[in-house]
Amino acid sequence: MVKKERLGVILSESRLPEFIASLTETYRIFGPSKKDDGESFADIHKSEELALDYRNTKMSSKGFFFPQTESLMWYDSTDKKAKQDKPEVQPTLLFGLRPCDALAISYLDKVFLSNEPQDPYYRQRREATKIVCLACNSPSPTCFCTSVGCGPDSENGADIMMYKLNDRYFMKALTPGGEEILTKIDAETEPATSQDIVEKDDLVNKACQMMKRFVDIDEFKEKLDNFQGPWWEKLAQKCLGCGICTYFCPTCHCFDVTDEVVRQSGRRVRTWDSCMYPLFTLHASGHNPRPTERERMRQRIMHKFNYADKYYSSIFCVGCGRCIVHCPVNMDIRQVITQIMEER
Amino acid sequence: MKQAEHEIRSNVGKLLKQKNIDVFIGYEKGSLPLRTSPCFVSSEKEARKLIWNSFCTNNLAVYLPRIMSRVKNKGSTRVGIICKGCDSRSLVELIKEKQLARGQIYIIGISCSGMVDYKKILSQVNSDEVIGVDETADEITVRSKEGERVFSKEENLCEPCRACKHAVPTVYDMLIRTAQQPRQATTPDPTVHDFLMKPREERWQILEQELSKCIRCYACRNACPNCYCKECFAEQTKPRWFGVTTDLTDIIFYHTIRIFHQAGRCVDCGACIRACPMNINLRLFTRMLVDEVKERFGYEPGVSAKEVQPLATFKTEDRQDFMIEPE
Amino acid sequence: MSNPYKPTPVKISDIVVENEARDIKTFKLTFIDKADEENFVFLPGQFAELSMFGFGECPIGIASSPTEKGYLLFTVKRAGVVTTQLHRAAVNETIGIRGPLGNTYPLEKMKGNNILIVGGGFAFTTLRATIKYILEQTNRPRFGDLMVIYGARSPGELLYKSELWALEKRSDMETFITVDKGDKKWNRREGFVPTVLKEVAPSSRQTVALVCGPPIMIKFTLPVLIELGFSPESIFLSLEMRMKCGIGKCGHCNIGHKYVCKDGPVFSFAELQKLPQEY
């Protein structure tokens, strides 16, 4: 038993169905869905429904803890008291999350949990969830996690780290919560050997090779200390200000709070917001500190790579590449970073 | 394609060198295969990075209202732009709406044989394996780690291109004719007709299914050249017309009102459809409006600079029986 | 677990129209639940989010001092959706409050020093809280000399008129009230706040300056203070930004890496010089 814990465990691919079946007894499982080729995370009841050979989901997983639309409270003008909405939560497992997304969740934990006061809505969902992370064997051309302090086997945010070897999965627990899960499914697994480790390391190295590090991120952070840098105008020219990048980004956390009312009652609801929108910083007086795309683009890049680092000790980019894939004008953040680094 | 590209580069280079224009908006190579990206060039040297291929889809007219509203000396600024047929029709309407003056822009029109929808191609290959793309007159060859695959352009066109009757721009200062024949649709677009043939419940189901994908990112609005309002109705607070959530009612409100604001103005360029990251079939809306306006007013936006917009103009002979009670 | 987004109900117990244009009102709020009142522990400089269900919230500086027991004062200018609705409210109506939020004026640094307060227009609100706090009997000996320079566009726009003239009569402080342009009844000082500051030329020795006003006033006041010998570390400003959550999560109010709702709204001039000039 001791050896198992030290190196990890092996789950043969043929035992995946039993593995999942036994987990469904305790957890509601979300995983990459075979129905849409892993484009989204869906409710998983059987291992056959999983598409673990997926690259990454279209939308990030931040929606599990920080939904696009969330009712904060309901009110009734007859009693003037606000009734807090309590999200319905049950023990949940995010199964097969990529390391970049798991790291992003650990960043969001900093915003909503470690940064007092705690956000009760986020906390309730987060506390009920455990994350089984699946390391990447073949990154996409748009992945650049190794350039931003993440990697195909980054462990931050994960309760269990899982690797796909030839015909089996290598797993190791990273938290007590992860240990709990592995103990529960002890019957399905075998202890890992040093050979498994060698194979796993080899795969990780190969994956890292596929992503060339294109920037020294610490140098870039420092370069951004020059707020008045002349490069923003040209970089922001083609930006449409549509907000897709912020919506798909796993670490973007800005939100709007609005009140809805139907006759005498209503709710206060929070929805995703984007610093790329012109009204984001509009004062009631009409003054807007960020009037054009130039200021807003600067804000987005500075927040991700400079301000977040000063405030939370992490840059808020995990290199998932979603902003690159979905931008309608092909604004590539890697090119943005490279162009800024090249400017004197 | 190559010939057109060469012509674009040399003409733009000349215009910039002779200071006929201050900046030119065109396309450059994207950071990924199958993508291009809008680019702003202001020197002869920069003009050399302009390209032309079947993936030059973005409607560049979207940048003009904001450039023109911010430029300091309106009288003397001139912006150059490359336009396909659809883009030029957007420009015609923008000029009618006084968002820019004809004299402020230099239009290089380019005849188009239809743009290829990169998302359609990507859905048929393992997108993460693509290394490069080549094209001939009729085909797209995608090179990947696993080999080469050939796709017919015709089968993978952007949907609005299929129905296009104005592949030659309706306004330009100079015209570049590509080697391919400009596209000319001979049959009417079946989108709306096919949809209306379905039973009512099915139509509602389809709309519900499509619209529930919406995440309220507003990319459709921002990619549209006609959506240049400084404060969009969707974000107004005085009054707040409807909610900002992703509840279906809010989503329906947003899309139907936005598209109604396009009546008589939408040229079916497809910018909104291509921008949508959730692949909502917005064409059900856009095409509906285009067909309705054509049927009721006999008007097609962007074709003639002289024709007035039917929904923005009042003539004394307009029908008023819907307003006035019969005697 | 407490919910930082949930407002606490308060009653409007009094409304005073402050200015001639009638678009600035001071609301006196009292807690409905005594326990809530005891939990609302704050110091001058802080703000609260005033909540009007169905309309939203607005961040308003607390205009009363914690030494004023039993109520809170908020001076609100009618500007947007929420403030317009608040202006329509009547006495005895219940609204919501979330707070106290933000940081305070640097009271510990101010103790043992002279205090210079420079205020303009309706931004004088949290400065009133500070003045009241300093003047409180047991607090007064902890601070040195107190000088207040306060101006508005016209006599009708001065806030807290009933209290201002009383301040002038006090011997434990110096008060200079000015207007940009007087009217027929005005027989006192005329002149922009920065100009009056220059004329009065208070000593910068062992003095902390608190400045609050419209951007244009601040722009011209800061150079005068520097000229008088104030160091950027001893000048404090209170900023405004568009806010939503007020607890540093929604991302709306950042200036560089600081959130105005959490790390502010009070910043020293030295701090601001290091931040991006984007406000």
pTM beyond cutoff 0.90: yes
Domain boundary assignment for chain B:
2-117+157-312, 118-156
pLDDT at position B13 is: 94
∠ CA A315-A320-A323, rounded to 5°: 90
Classify B241 as helix, strand or coil.
Answer: coil
Q: How far apart are CA C225 and CA C198, in angstroms?
A: 8
Classify A75 as helix, strand or coil.
Answer: strand
Q: Are strands C114-120 and C207-212 parallel, antiparallel or unpaired?
A: parallel
pLDDT at position C279 is: 83
Compute the residue count for chain B: 327
C47 shares a domain with C137: no
Query: Does some domain include residue C279?
Result: no
How many Å separate Cα A343 from the centre of its chain?
31
C142 shares a domain with C20: no
Domain boundary assignment for chain A:
2-210, 217-342
Query: B145 touching A, CB under 8 A?
Result: no
Query: Does some domain include residue C265?
Result: no
Average confidence (pLDDT) over B119-123: 92
CB pairs under 8 A between B and C: 5
Tens digit of each residue's pLDDT, chain A (344 residues) = 444 456 799 999 999 999 999 999 999 999 999 999 899 999 999 999 999 999 999 999 999 999 999 999 998 877 667 888 777 889 999 999 999 999 999 999 999 999 889 999 999 999 999 999 999 999 999 999 999 999 999 999 999 999 999 899 999 999 999 999 998 888 888 899 999 999 999 999 999 999 989 999 999 999 999 888 889 999 999 999 999 999 999 999 999 999 998 778 889 999 999 999 999 999 888 889 999 999 999 999 999 999 999 999 999 999 999 999 999 999 999 999 999 999 87
Q: Which of residues 41-100 of A touch C (CB under 8 A)?
A: 72-73, 75, 77, 80-82, 84
Average confidence (pLDDT) over B119-140: 87
Instruction: Work out the widest C-alpha separation in chain B, in whole angstroms.
Output: 77
Task: Tell me the one-letter amino acid at A132.
Answer: V
Torsion of CA B304, B310, B315, B319, to 10 degrees: 140
Q: What is the pLDDT of residues B162-173, one digit of tens each?
A: 989 899 999 999
Query: C80 touching B, CB under 8 A?
Result: yes
Minimum CA–CA partner of B238 in chain C: C81
Single out the residue of B153, B220, B143, B150 nearest to residue B181, CA to CA.
B153
pLDDT at position B178 is: 84
Exposure b/e, A275-305, CB count within 10 A at least 16 = b = bbbbebbbebeeeebbebbbbbbbbbbbbbb
Q: Which of residues 265-294 of A touch C (CB under 8 A)?
A: 266, 268, 270, 273, 275, 280-285, 287, 289-290
List CB contacts (< 8 A) between C81 and chain B.
Answer: 237-238, 240
Mark which of C101, C133, C151 sits at the end of a domain. C101
C122 shares a domain with C88: no
Q: What is the pLDDT of residues A57-102, one digit of tens each?
A: 999 999 999 999 999 999 887 766 788 877 788 999 999 999 999 9
Please give the tally of structural domains in chain C: 2
Q: What is the pLDDT of residues C24-69, one digit of tens each?
A: 999 999 999 999 999 999 999 999 999 998 899 999 999 999 999 9
C171 shares a domain with C96: no
**Torsional sign, CA A304, A309, A313, A318:** positive
Query: Does some domain include residue C129?
Result: yes
| Record: contact A277-B218, CB cut-off 8 A | yes
Q: How far apart are CA B132 and CA B141, in angstroms?
A: 8
pLDDT at position A187 is: 80
Q: How far apart are CA A178 and CA A157, in angstroms?
A: 11
Q: What is the 8-class DSSP label of residue A211? A: S
Single out the residue of A89, A22, A99 nearest to residue A60, CA to CA.
A99
Domain carrying residue C116:
107-238
How many Å separate Cα A71 from the centre of its chain?
22
pLDDT at position A76 is: 82
The whole-angstrom distance between B145's CA and the closest CA on chain A is 12
Q: How far apart are CA C103 and CA C95, in angstroms?
A: 24
pLDDT at position A2 is: 46
Exposure b/e, C77-105, CB count within 10 A at least 16 = b = bbebbbbbbbbeeeeeebbbbbbbbbbbb
Q: Are A174 and A243 in contact (CB under 8 A)?
A: no
Subunits with 3+ Cβ pairs within 8 Å of C are A, B
Q: What is the percent of chain B where pLDDT is above 90?
A: 72
* CATH number assigned to the domain comprising residue C114: 3.40.50.80
Query: Does some domain include residue C183?
Result: yes
